[in-house]
Amino acid sequence: MTELGWIEGAITAARPQAMAALLRYFRDMDAAEEAFQEACLRALKSWPQKGPPRDPTAWLILVGRNAAVDAVRKSSRNTALPPEERLSDLEDAEARAAERLDGSRYQDDVLRLLFICCHPDLPSTQQIALALRVVSGLSVREIARAFLVSEAAMEQRITRAKARIGAGDALFEAPGPIERAERFAAVAAMIYLLFNEGYSASGKALEAKGGLCDEAIRLARLLLRLFPSEPEMMGLTALLLIQHARSDARFDADGLAILLEDQDRSLWNREMIGEGLALIDKAMLKRDPGPYQVQAAIAALHARAGSPEDTDWVGIDALYATLEIMRPSPVITLNRAVAAAKVRGPEAALAMIAPLERPLAAYFHYQGARGAFLMQAGRKTEAREAFNRAIALASTAAEAANIRQYLDRLSAEAERPHR
């Protein structure tokens, strides 16, 4: 690693804790960001000469706070903190100073920072953008590229989010048990949305959004360190790891999506899958199931199958049935129908999704799945109609191209001579 490389790594790792502590001290997001940026600039000057401090996070907190209040202290009788050039020469100065600045535990600070980014008044897209900017430290340009909008539009989106939070009633005290549970749920949902934003991308958008999955996993691991015994956090992290492990096999050279059963499983990241499987197994031992754990268990059954034929579709069907009870949703029922088609045949799947016609009639994946079930059942005319509806509802060229493959297959079968 280059000299600047290790500094960048240390700053990236320290950012969530340092930003959280500075935000609690200043109670202003812009002030905390400016203090952290100033600390980073001073780290770039000091660390190459003196080497890394014993506690980079504490160093950044102390220097950031010192830099932000220095002008005020010069005009008062308060004694300024030691200059940052001396910090690494003091015996455990960073750790002691950080302890004075942050009497509550770091995990409360980080959780508070994440929760503030997940302010309930903000749309989910603004929550994600704000978390990427404040917690992860991505530049506005990087976030704009990921969301496929202009840099000016993203700057405005983040500014509006900060303004709304500043005008609200954000809490900066250490959260109690009830608030912690609420904050955990909100932050976990934000991380899940962030991952899906990257996972659902394809084609050129995949190049821009691919890093969002990595960032979501990084934040999930951070939250898991804060809640190491929380089974739903284990489940969420496991789910993201197992899903992302298939990324190299999900698209062909032309950017078209490859169905799970057609993917080259040798391209799956077995190390990532192993980490995810270990987490979901550990979560199950807690005997406190939740939606993330169930989804991770479904992904685990796919990951454990050496081939499509080895997939435990009966188990997947049962898990989806459990998920339907925990979180009733037409989309979950639609997903369960895929397993039902494998276990009980396409007609059973069609019967299962028939009640979903009204709520999901304008949903691309509903029409695509319905067309696939109809094609499996030999009802080719109806299948073609469903596929045509799906193409009309496609939001990307890649989605439309995938459906055209089914239509091409139907056309080829129609032209095949009968014996």
How many Å apart are CA 323 and CA 329, to the nearest integer? Answer: 9
Give the model confidence (pLDDT) of 50-78 as tens digits: 887 888 888 998 888 888 777 456 555 44
Residues 123 and 218 in one domain: yes
Among 27-36, 167-176, 382-391, name the one with the lowest average pLDDT.
167-176
Residues 184 and 110 in one domain: yes
Asked whether residue 409 is domain-assigned, the answer is yes
Provide mean pLDDT across the span 15-35: 83
Give the model confidence (pLDDT) of 308-359 as tens digits: 999 999 999 999 999 999 999 999 999 999 999 999 999 999 999 999 999 9
Give the model confidence (pLDDT) of 119-135 as tens digits: 777 887 888 888 888 88
- Taking 90 as the threshold, does the pLDDT of residue 381 lie above it? yes
Residues 398 and 321 in one domain: yes
Determine the pLDDT at residue 253. 83
> Which residues are bridge partners to 251 per DSSP?
257
How many Å apart are CA 55 and CA 291, to the nearest integer? Answer: 37
Is the C-alpha dihedral spanning 294, 297, 301, 303 positive or negative?
positive
How many Å apart are CA 261 and CA 341, to the nearest integer? Answer: 14
Residues 143 and 217 in one domain: yes
Domain termination site, one of 195, 211, 228: 228
Residues 282 and 222 in one domain: no
Asked whether residue 372 is domain-assigned, the answer is yes
Asked whether residue 326 is domain-assigned, the answer is yes
Domain termination site, one of 103, 130, 155: 103
Asked whether residue 338 is domain-assigned, the answer is yes
Give the model confidence (pLDDT) of 219-271 as tens digits: 899 889 878 899 999 999 999 999 999 999 998 887 778 889 999 999 999 99
Asked if residues 32 and 23 have their Cβ atoms less than 8 Å apart, the reply is: yes
Residues 140 and 209 in one domain: yes
Asked whether residue 307 is domain-assigned, the answer is no
Asked whether residue 378 is domain-assigned, the answer is yes
- The total number of structural domains in the chain stands at 4
Q: Higher pLDDT residue, 82 or 29?
A: 29
Asked whether residue 322 is domain-assigned, the answer is yes
DSSP 248: G
Residues 20 and 92 in one domain: yes
Residues 43 and 155 in one domain: no
Which CATH number do you get for residue 362? Answer: 1.25.40.10
pTM of the model: 0.75
3-state secondary structure of 114: helix
Determine the pLDDT at residue 179. 67
Asked if residues 67 and 38 have their Cβ atoms less than 8 Å apart, the reply is: yes
Residues 167 and 206 in one domain: yes
Asked if residues 113 and 16 have their Cβ atoms less than 8 Å apart, the reply is: yes
Domain interval for residue 187: 105-228
Provide mean pLDDT across the span 134-159: 85
Asked whether residue 44 is domain-assigned, the answer is yes
Give me Rg for the CA atoms of the chain.
Answer: 25
- Taking 90 as the threshold, does the pLDDT of residue 177 lie above it? no
Instruction: Name all contacts of 322-331 with Cβ < 8 Å and 24+ positions apart.
Output: 322/289, 322/294, 323/291, 323/294, 323/295, 323/298, 326/289, 326/290, 326/291, 326/294, 327/291, 330/356, 330/359, 330/360, 331/360, 331/363, 331/365
Q: Is 6 exposed, middle or buried (0-12, 13-18, 19+ CB in 10 A)?
A: middle
Residues 237 and 348 in one domain: no
Domain termination site, one of 103, 122, 153: 103
Tell me what percent of the residues of the chain surpass a pLDDT of 90.
40
Provide mean pLDDT across the span 100-106: 48
Residues 110 and 197 in one domain: yes
- Within 8 A by CB and 6+ apart from 128, the residues are 190, 193, 194, 197
